Structure formats: structure tokens, C-alpha cells
């Protein structure tokens, strides 16, 4: 569970805030560990699993938000030859192909940039948007128009771009296809905005020189520490593209190349390779190294050639992307929650360097988690100077045996802060690092719960760090999304005593005169802030629930709860009942026993009570057990979430915060969107041998139509699709009066839904 939370945090830092704290290799390792656990324990899969999420929600920004008509997905990763072979095997199994059937694949280098979607209507650029969380991005149309690589008007040309890979190293595959295709009325080109290595160095040098000139003009001493330079080309590209002023973007040396497409009125080819060449013929750059292969050996040979020339390329790449070439096969393969089944990113191994760990600082998050951050003697790894590294938690520090002053090996894959992989001086006879047992911010006791490695401050909202971080989370883009309330303003209002809880935000107008006399605030900015707050008086119920920061309740779980209970009042009611369940009372009693305490209710049950009291308690237990069962029966919600929800409402202070907040806001009932298909909202089961598709493909079709694909027949099942050899499931369905159809009838349902 902590893996999913850590991955979500680092997703946000990388995709939304452009301030990553861990290396790509470290992030990929977290995801791999999470995948192994999810495969072994599918009932523990969380709503915020990295396998369900893409990128991160759009961060606070002056740019307007844009909903993608077709979702922008991420990619799954492979790290070894075996991973690539297994991916191809999965593709064959899904498509019901023989084990030795050839699967043509396109391969292109994976550039490290910022994903962007370009919408062309009748050949004219009308909209450009960043990926964001895959569903909502930022409108960067004005800025994109400043990038010379991106044409305002598409035009048909047959001039190919020469590949930069040296001839003697390129595998001979006959991939020199030139395509000239008519431009569709609607075509969305997707790709990466990036900055070349030389341009990145030049930009940082220019920023430093401009800082010197400004200091000289003001007659003050030049302080290079005050000059904001970019850490790496990706951050430079992201920061340059996401400017409020397009003129600043125009001064930045940004480039673009296409690697895919979104919505379209027509496709100029039947393969991924053909469409890429068509896009290139319209004047939009594509990877100069894109090629087509038909065997695993060719794919891996190409990967090694790219890896060998990686350092000499004029831009940063972190792997090679493979795509199933046939578009009809891509259509059948479809997508998992966050990525296409028909594509895979083959990542490069990490780079390493040695340096000294100078100190360890402790940061406190909104849930009280104490995170150790290592301060390094600056070192260059892969051309980037790094000086900070996350040490994750107490267990990781103990595993590595690191202490300030140790010589450590760090590694990096991509251009982000690296991880410590080895302590070269752990055998030195020096005292081990003492991880704090009290919060450095409020001095409350810091403990690790059973089964958790994270040490957390027990101070709750009396801890200024937690209170601050929780309020930041509440107003963030992924929660209530209140414009004008950022970290600086929240900190200022807390210090001034204007806000302590979420409800206080909606009473800020009571401090209008006091805010107006504070530095940096004027009537217009204050009125804009109050207007933004007022707009959130009727917030989305799921966002509000998520914004409260209840442990284990992420964005998806909050939506799942509201889909079932429709209002926050009903969520509270079901949680209040669940508090009386035997399951919850047992967990509370166990917790008290472990702390040397005993639940008063347990004593009453043990020592006896009046008959009418027992009867009342029995009725309460019955209602509570039913409520607990109802919560954990929700798809994607389990006992951990039920426990967290009950814990939240069991705490009187939390209930006071909840009641106070709901006195200020009125969230409307949650509306569940339904798909227009004959099976939307129904439970479908597949049995027997399917002849035209694999079982996985059939389940994917059902989910795409808004149905739930189940593996077992019960009274709740609405439809059974039976192939040859259907046995006990079909008999049970017939006995229960469940509708049974064959594979051909299912195909008609799919076709009718379009």
C-alpha cells in the first residue's frame, strides 16, 4: 500500500511539478515491486495503483485546462531481453496467435521531454495541450506556435528525414519507406516537446549572464545562488513550454517530434510505421531513428545500437519504444488502465557515480510521514549535477547503513535526483544514524504502525507541518482546485491565525481588511481569491472526500465510494454503522491490547450486561456488519479502506472538522456516468472456449462497454457468454435463470455499441 502512495507522489513531482526527487530507475523499481505484489495479491490492489493512473493531475498554473477528447496514455516498461520476449508472447496470447507467429514492430528512441498533443483541423493547428493526468492537460497553444518544429499549417511533402544512426551500425530491415498522404480533416498529432543538450547548456549560460548583467545594472553584488537554472533538459523544456507569456517560450530553443496520434477523421495508413511516415511527410518531425522489425533478434540488436550511440545523440533519451505495427491488431489489443497493451518502453540501465553524504534532513508530510533526505556533496552523473537524494524511510537507512560522512554510490536513469545503491564506508567504526523518535516540527512521538515501515508523527493537526501539508492538499488541483491559494498563501494565513481547518478557508472573507494591509495583497487579488473560494461552495463530492486526506482514500476510491453512496452524508452514515461492526470493534480491541489497554465494550461483553443491552448491541453489530460488508463489496474497495473510513469518523476531532466543513459547503449528489451499450452496468461472465478472441480480449471488450467482467456466476450475474465446452458455469446460470448467449451474439452486442 505504501508503494502505491509513494509512486503517486513521485508521479506528481515528475509530471505535474517538474521537480522529481528520485531517479527513473528508483521509480521503475517501485513500480516493478508494486506489480509483483498486485499479481500475487490481487485483492489488495489499491485505487491509486500506478497501473490505473497516468501522469499526474495538472498542477497550479495560470494556463487553462483542456479535457482530452481521447485519453493520453503512458507506457509500460521493460528492463531486460526477457521482458521484451515476454511482452511479445503476451501479444500473441491475447491475439490467439501461434507461439511462433511473426509480430511486426516499430521501434523508436524514447526521448525525455514533455508530452504534448497537437490538434489540426483541415490541416491548421487549432489547439495544443500537455498530457497532464491523461484526461485533462494545459492549453499551451500560444506557446506551441513559437516552436519552429511545429507547423501552423500541414502540407503534403515526400521528403524523408535521414536517420542519424551510422550506416555501419544500422540493422538492415528494409525500413526505408517514404509516404505521401492526404491530410485528414481532423488529426491529433501526439509527441514530445524537448530541448537538445547543446541548447540546454546555452540556455543555462544565458540565464547566468543575464543575472550578472542585472546585478551590475542595479549596482549590487552578483549572487549566482539566486539565479534559477534548470537541472536538466526535460525540466527546461517543461518550464519553457508552460509559460504564461508565450514571448518567453519564443526565446527558449524548444523542439518537437511526433510519436503517435489521438482523435482523427481518417488514418493515412494501416500500420504504425506508415502513419509515422505520413506525419513526417506533412512537415512534422518524427524520430529519425524509427524503424520496423519482425523478429526479437532484430529488435534487441537495434536496442543495443541505439544504446551504443546514446551519448553521441544531440538529445537525451532513456530507452527505446516498441509498438505492434498493425493498427487492426492495436485496436484489438486495446489498453489496460494506464497504458496500451500494444506498446512497451525498453528502458536503459542506470548511470552511477560516487560522492559523500554530507547530512540527513527529516521532512514531515501531510500524513505525518517522516521522510529522510540526504544532502550530497554535488556530483555530476550523466552530465547532471545532483546534490539531494531521498533515503525513503528508516528501514532504507538501516539497510544501507548510511551516516553523514559516508562515501556512497548513487545511480541515475534519466535526469532526476538519484538513489543511493551502496555505502562504501559502512564498515567504518562510527555510530549508526539515529532516526528520530519524535517529530522535528512539533516534538510529538513518532512511531511506525504494525506492518508499516514509515515512521509518522502522532501529533495530527497540532503538528504545524501536517496541518500545513493537509491544507495544501485540500486546495490542490487534484482536490478542490482553488485558484490563488498556494503554499505561500496557506503558510501566510496559518501564521496570521486566519485558517486552521478546511472550513476556515470558506470564512477567509471575514479577514478581508486584515489581508488587505498585508504585503503583496491588493483589492483585486483579494477579491479574486474570495471569488475563487466562493466557486467551490458546491464542490464535486468525490474531490471533497479525497481532499480531506483520509489515509488509503485516493481519487479513484473516493469516486468509487460516491458512485455507490451518491452523497457525503450517506458515506458518513455507512461509516458510522461500520464502526459498530464486529470486524472494526475487533481491530480496535486488538490495537488496544497491543498498547496494553482494553476496550470498555470488550469488558462489558466479557463480564456480562443486561439482556436488553445485549440485544441492543446485537442489533447494532448486525447493522454494522452489514455496513462493513457493503463497503468492502465495492469493486476496488477492501477492508483497508473500510478500516480507514471508520477510523476517520471514530475520531471526534475528525468528525468536528467534517461537520464544520459541511456547514460551509453543499456538494451536489454524485452523478455516475454510464456507457450507451446493451450491457452497460451489467455483470458479464465468459465461459467455455472462445474461438475468435482470447478471454482477456473478451473481458476488455466488456469493460469498454461499461460492463463488469466477472470470473464466477452468482445471482448478481446478468449475462453469460458461453463457448464450446461450457460446463458448470452454464448449468448454474441456467438454474438461476440468467441469460446465456453464444460468442456470435456477443460480437453483435460489441458491434452495435460501435
Question: What CATH homologous superfamily does 65-347 map to?
Answer: DNA ligase/mRNA capping enzyme (3.30.470.30)
Residue 382: its pLDDT value, please? 66
- In 3D, which of 331, 187, 346 has the Cα closest to residue 271? 331
Q: What is the pLDDT of residue 613?
A: 45
Let me know: does 476 contact 536? Beta carbons within 8 Å: no
Q: Is 600 exposed, middle or buried (0-12, 13-18, 19+ CB in 10 A)?
A: exposed
CATH 3.30.70.3270 fits 460-534, yes or no: no
Closest Cα partner for 473 from 416, 530, 550, 405? 550
- Give the whole-angstrom CA distance, residue 516 versus residue 639: 48
CA torsion through residues 393, 394, 400, 404, sign: positive
Q: Do residues 439 and 456 touch, judged by C-beta distance below 8 A?
A: no
Q: Is 41 helix (H, G, I), strand (E, B) or coil?
A: coil
DSSP code, position 60: S
pLDDT at position 173: 43
Q: From the centroid of its chain, how far is CA 471? A: 21
pLDDT score, position 417: 59
Reference 376, options 412, 344, 325, 349; nearest CA is 412
For residues 604 and 610, give the distance between their C-alpha atoms in angstroms, rounded to a whole number: 10
19's grid cell? 521537480
CATH class name, domain 2-53+350-447: mainly beta
Tell me whether domains 460-534 and 541-662 share a fold. yes
Q: Which of 555, 751, 563 is nearest to 674 (CA)?
A: 563
- Distance separating alpha carbons of residues 720 and 742, to the nearest angstrom: 8
Residue bearing cell 496494553:
596
Q: Let me know if domain 541-662 sits in CATH 1.10.150.20.
A: yes
Cα distances (Å, whole numbers) of residue 392 to 411, 420, 453, 582: 15, 10, 10, 36
Describe the strand order of the beta sheet including 407-412 as a list of residue ranges: 384-390, 370-381, 351-364, 407-412, 419-423
DSSP string, 342-372: TEEEEEPPPEEEEEEEEEEEEEE-TT-BEEE
CA dist 415 and 421 (Å) reads: 17
Distance of CA 53 to the CA centre of its chain: 5
Rg over CA atoms, the chain: 28
Q: What is the block-wise mean pLDDT of the chain (754 residues), using blocks of 10 residues?
A: 64 52 62 67 56 47 82 93 97 95 96 95 96 91 95 77 39 42 92 95 92 75 72 89 91 96 95 95 94 96 93 91 97 90 93 92 91 93 80 94 95 68 92 94 87 85 85 91 88 93 96 92 91 95 93 88 91 95 83 48 36 49 86 84 91 90 94 72 88 84 82 86 88 92 91 80
Are residues 544 and 589 in contact, defined by beta-carbon separation less than 8 angstroms?
Answer: no
Please answer whether residues 499 and 508 qualify as being in contact, where contact means their C-beta atoms are separated by less than 8 angstroms: yes
Set of cell numbers at residue 658: 467534517
At 60 the pLDDT is: 40
622, 642, 746, 737: which is closest to 690 by C-alpha?
746
User: Rounded to whole angstroms, what are the CA distances from 52 to 75, 133, 324, 480, 726?
Assistant: 12, 11, 22, 22, 32
The residues facing 255 across adjacent strands are 194
Say which DSSP state 438 is in: B
pLDDT for residue 608: 40
Quote the pLDDT of residue 20: 55
Cell of 306: 541505439
Strand pairing category for 708-710 and 683-687: parallel
Nearest-angstrom CA–CA distance, 647 and 209: 56
C-alpha span between 564 and 571 (Å, rounded): 9
Long-range contacts of 293-300 (CB under 8 A, 24+ apart): 293/104, 293/105, 293/106, 293/107, 293/171, 293/173, 293/175, 294/102, 294/103, 294/104, 294/105, 294/173, 295/102, 296/84, 296/85, 296/88, 298/171, 298/173, 299/84, 299/105, 299/107, 300/81, 300/84
* Chain-centroid distance, C-alpha 734: 43
Non-local CB neighbours of 152 within 8 Å, separated by 6+ positions:
124, 125, 145
Contact 258, 285 (CB under 8 A): yes
Residue spans of the domains in the chain: they are 2-53+350-447, 65-347, 460-534, 541-662, 683-752
pTM of the model: 0.54
683-752 CATH: 3.40.50.10190
Residue pair 394/453 in contact by the 8 Å Cβ criterion: yes
Place of cell 542506470: 350
Whether the Cβ atoms of residue 74 and residue 134 lie closer than 8 Å to each other: yes
E strand intervals along 365-413: 370-381, 384-390, 407-412
**Which of 362-367's residues contact partners 24+ apart within 8 Å by CB, and which partners?**
362/436, 362/440, 364/439, 364/440, 364/441, 364/457, 364/463, 364/465, 364/466, 364/469, 365/465, 365/466, 365/469, 366/466, 366/468, 366/469, 366/470, 366/472, 366/473, 366/549, 367/456, 367/466, 367/549, 367/551
What are φ and ψ of residue 386, in 5° steps?
Answer: -120, 150
- How many DSSP H helices and E strands does the chain contain? 27, 22
- Sort residue 122 into left (φ over 0), alpha (ψ -120 to 50) or beta: left
DSSP state of 520: T
Residues that are catalytic = 110
Amino acid at each position: 500500500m505504501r508503494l502505491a502512495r509513494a509512486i503517486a507522489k513521485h508521479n506528481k513531482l515528475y509530471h505535474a511539478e517538474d521537480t522529481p526527487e528520485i531517479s527513473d530507475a528508483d521509480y521503475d523499481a517501485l513500480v516493478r515491486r508494486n506489480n509483483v505484489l498486485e499479481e500475487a495479491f490481487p485483492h489488495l490492489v489499491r485505487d491509486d495503483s500506478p497501473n490505473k493512473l497516468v501522469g499526474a493531475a495538472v498542477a497550479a498554473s495560470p494556463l487553462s485546462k483542456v479535457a482530452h477528447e481521447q485519453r493520453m496514455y503512458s507506457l509500460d516498461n521493460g528492463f531486460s531481453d526477457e521482458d521484451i520476449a515476454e511482452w511479445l508472447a503476451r501479444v500473441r496470447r491475447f491475439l490467439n496467435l501461434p507461439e511462433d507467429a511473426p509480430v511486426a514492430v516499430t521501434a523508436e528512441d524514447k526521448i525525455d521531454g514533455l508530452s504534448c498533443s497537437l490538434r489540426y483541423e483541415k490541416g491548421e493547428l487549432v489547439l495544443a495541450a500537455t498530457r497532464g493526468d491523461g484526461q485533462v492537460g494545459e492549453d499551451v497553444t500560444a506557446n506551441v506556435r513559437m516552436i519552429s518544429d511545429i507547423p501552423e499549417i500541414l502540407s503534403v511533402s515526400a521528403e524523408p528525414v535521414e536517420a542519424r544512426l551510422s550506416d555501419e551500425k544500422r540493422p538492415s530491415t528494409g525500413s526505408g519507406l517514404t509516404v505521401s498522404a492526404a491530410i485528414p480533416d481532423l488529426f491529433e498529432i501526439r509527441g514530445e516537446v524537448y530541448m537538445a543538450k547543446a541548447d540546454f547548456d546555452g540556455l543555462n549560460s544565458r540565464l547566468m549572464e543575464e543575472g550578472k548583467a542585472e546585478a551590475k545594472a542595479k549596482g549590487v553584488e552578483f549572487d549566482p545562488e539566486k539565479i534559477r537554472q534548470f537541472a536538466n533538459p526535460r525540466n527546461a523544456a517543461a518550464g519553457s513550454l508552460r509559460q504564461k507569456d508565450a514571448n518567453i517560450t519564443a526565446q527558449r530553443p524548444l523542439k518537437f517530434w511526433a510519436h503517435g496520434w489521438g482523435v482523427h477523421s481518417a488514418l493515412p495508413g494501416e500500420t504504425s510505421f506508415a502513419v509515422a511516415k505520413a506525419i513526417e511527410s506533412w512537415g512534422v518531425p518524427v524520430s529519425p531513428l524509427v524503424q520496423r522489425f519482425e523478429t526479437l533478434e532484430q529488435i534487441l540488436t537495434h536496442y543495443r545500437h541505439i544504446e551504443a550511440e546514446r551519448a553521441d545523440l544531440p538529445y537525451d533519451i532513456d530507452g527505446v519504444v516498441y509498438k505492434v505495427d498493425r493498427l487492426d491488431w492495436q485496436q484489438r489489443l486495446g489498453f489496460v488502465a494506464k497504458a496500451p497493451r500494444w506498446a512497451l518502453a525498453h528502458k536503459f540501465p542506470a548511470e552511477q557515480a560516487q560522492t559523500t553524504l554530507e547530512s540527513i534532513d527529516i521532512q514531515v508530510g501531510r500524513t505525518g510521514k517522516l521522510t529522510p533526505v540526504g544532502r550530497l556533496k554535488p556530483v555530476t552523473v550523466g552530465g547532471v549535477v545532483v546534490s539531494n537524494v531521498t533515503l525513503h524511510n528508516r528501514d532504507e537507512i538501516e539497510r544501507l547503513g548510511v551516516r553523514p560522512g559516508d562515501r556512497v554510490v548513487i545511480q541515475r536513469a534519466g535526469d532526476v535526483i538519484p538513489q543511493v545503491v551502496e555505502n562504501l564506508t559502512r564498515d567504518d567504526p562510527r555510530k549508526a544514524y539515529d532516526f528520530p523518535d519524535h517529530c522535528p516540527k512539533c516534538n510529538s512521538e513518532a512511531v511506525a504502525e504494525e506492518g508499516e515501515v514509515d515512521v509518522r508523527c502522532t501529533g495530527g493537526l497540532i503538528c504545524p507541518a501536517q496541518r500545513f501539508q493537509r491544507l495544501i492538499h485540500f486546495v490542490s488541483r487534484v482536490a478542490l482546485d482553488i485558484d490563488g491559494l498556494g503554499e505561500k498563501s496557506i503558510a501566510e494565513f496559518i501564521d496570521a491565525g486566519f485558517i486552521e481547518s478546511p472550513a476556515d478557508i470558506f470564512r477567509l472573507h471575514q479577514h478581508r481588511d486584515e489581508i488587505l494591509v498585508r504585503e503583496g495583497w491588493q483589492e483585486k487579488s483579494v477579491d479574486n481569491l474570495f471569488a475563487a473560494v466562493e466557486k467551490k461552495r458546491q464542490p464535486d463530492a468525490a474531490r471533497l472526500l479525497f481532499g480531506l486526506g483520509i489515509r488509503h482514500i485516493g481519487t479513484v476510491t473516493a469516486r468509487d465510494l460516491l458512485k455507490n453512496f451518491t452523497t457525503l452524508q450517506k458515506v458518513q452514515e455507512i461509516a458510522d454503522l461500520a464502526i459498530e461492526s464486529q470486524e472494526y470493534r475487533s481491530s480496535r480491541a486488538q490495537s488496544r491490547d497491543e498498547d496494553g489497554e482494553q476496550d470498555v465494550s470488550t469488558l462489558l461483553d466479557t463480564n456480562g450486561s443486561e439482556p436488553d443491552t445485549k440485544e441492543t448491541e446485537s442489533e447494532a453489530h448486525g447493522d454494522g456488519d452489514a455496513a462493513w460488508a457493503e463497503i468492502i463489496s465495492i469493486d476496488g474497495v477492501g477492508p483497508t479502506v473500510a478500516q480507514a473510513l471508520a477510523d476517520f469518523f471514530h475520531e471526534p476531532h475528525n468528525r468536528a472538522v467534517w461537520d464544520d466543513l459541511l456547514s460551509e459547503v453543499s456538494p451536489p449528489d454524485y452523478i455516475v456516468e454510464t456507457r450507451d451499450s446493451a450491457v452497460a452496468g451489467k455483470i458479464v461472465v465468459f465461459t467455455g472456449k472462445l474461438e475468435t478472441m482470447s478471454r482477456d480480449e473478451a473481458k476488455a471488450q466488456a469493460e469498454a462497454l461499461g460492463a463488469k467482467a466477472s470470473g464466477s456466476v452468482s445471482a448478481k450475474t446478468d449475462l453469460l457468454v458461453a463457448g464450446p465446452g461450457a460446463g458448470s458455469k452454464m448449468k448454474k446460470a441456467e438454474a438461476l435463470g440468467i441469460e446465456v448467449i453464444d460468442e456470435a451474439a456477443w460480437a453483435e452486442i460489441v458491434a452495435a455499441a460501435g
